[in-house]
Structure 1
Amino acid sequence: MKRYIFFAAVFGLIWCFVHGTISFDNFVLGLVFAPFIIRPFKPLYHFENDFSFGKGIKRIPAQAKFFYVLIKEIIKANIVVAKIVLQPKIDIKPGIIAVPIRTKTDMSITAIANTITLTPGTLTIDMSDDRSVLYVHAIDASDPEGVANSIRDDLEKYVLEAFE
């Protein structure tokens, strides 16, 4: 229930920013809209689990660090893909790589899969039935272990800190 109230309050604030006027009336209107927005996503966020506001606030620095690393990795991958594309002779070996993951929650798995897809040159294709392996298409899979280790060490580490 605490989690539901937290998300409703967040949606109330978001409504104030969307409306353009931060006022008590707009916040209350956002609270009124929140149940209609939250209800379809209730199974995804597990509202029945306990939620600690202190724990959520303590994660904010880790989430900021994750977004910083995400932006940095996207920029690095853009440079690598640009170098590949601008070469006179493109010498790449595209392929699909199985990347074992340590994340367990739906939120973390979604975050790591979307992070991989957002990074140029990689695309998350599928996940194993036991949710322990992501299948990733890489533009250059000549070193599959290096790509898997890069994802695990550079991206998943921050996802674990930020979302689990």
Structure 2
Amino acid sequence: MKNRFVSNILLTFIWVALTGTFTLANYLFGFLLGFFVLRMVTLGKSEAKYFRIVPKVIAFIFFFLYELIKANLQVAYEVMTPHYNMTPGIVKVPLDAETDLEITFLANLISLTPGTLSLDVSDDKKVLYVHSMYIKDRESFIAGIKNGFEKRLLEILR
């Protein structure tokens, strides 16, 4: 997987050097072009994990950005309006994540979104305690974390 990633980065730099345009858009286009070239070169060979992971990472980045913008707008609205819409609380989120790395990434992603904060992990690493400013329904809040951040994160890390 590391060799394919390095090859993809190398192809990206070759593309940027050939075009002479050093913009973010050109780097991204070069990366995508390199990805598809590598995919075509390895077509028919054993399925490489790299070609499954990269689209999931890109989708995860867009999902995280969407959640980040949504949470920022929600908190900004709360700050700017005179009435109190918050329903704060602490929720026990059961974990499918098992390793320290998976749990740490999940806890940090939750804490990075405004309005939520990871507080603690149980001693047996089966439960994550999360504080949120907006808990209207505990079950839907837990499902949002499990089907959102945790599911997508585990697809990448496993």
If the length of structure 2 is used for normalisation, what is the TM-score?
0.65
What is the identity, as a one-letter code, of the residue corresponding to 1:82? A
1:56 Cα deviation (Å)? Answer: 4.7
Q: Which runs of 5+ in 1 are unaligned?
A: 14-53
Q: Does 1:139 align with 2:143?
A: no
Q: Does 1:86 align with 2:80?
A: yes
User: Would you say how many aligned residue pairs link Structure 1 and Structure 2?
Assistant: 119
Matched residue, 2:121: 127
Percent of pairs identical after alignment? 41
Alignment of 1:14-93 (within 5 A): 54-56=48-50, 58-93=52-87
What is the identity, as a one-letter code, of the residue corresponding to 1:142? K
Q: Which runs of 5+ in 2 are unaligned?
A: 10-47
Partner SS, residue 73 of structure 1: helix
State the superposition RMSD in angstroms: 2.5
Aligned equivalents of 1:91, 1:55: Cα separation in 2: 45
If the length of structure 1 is used for normalisation, what is the TM-score?
0.63
Structure with the larger RCO, 1 or 2 (CA within 8 Å, 6+ apart): 1
Aligned equivalents of 1:119, 1:111: Cα separation in 2: 13
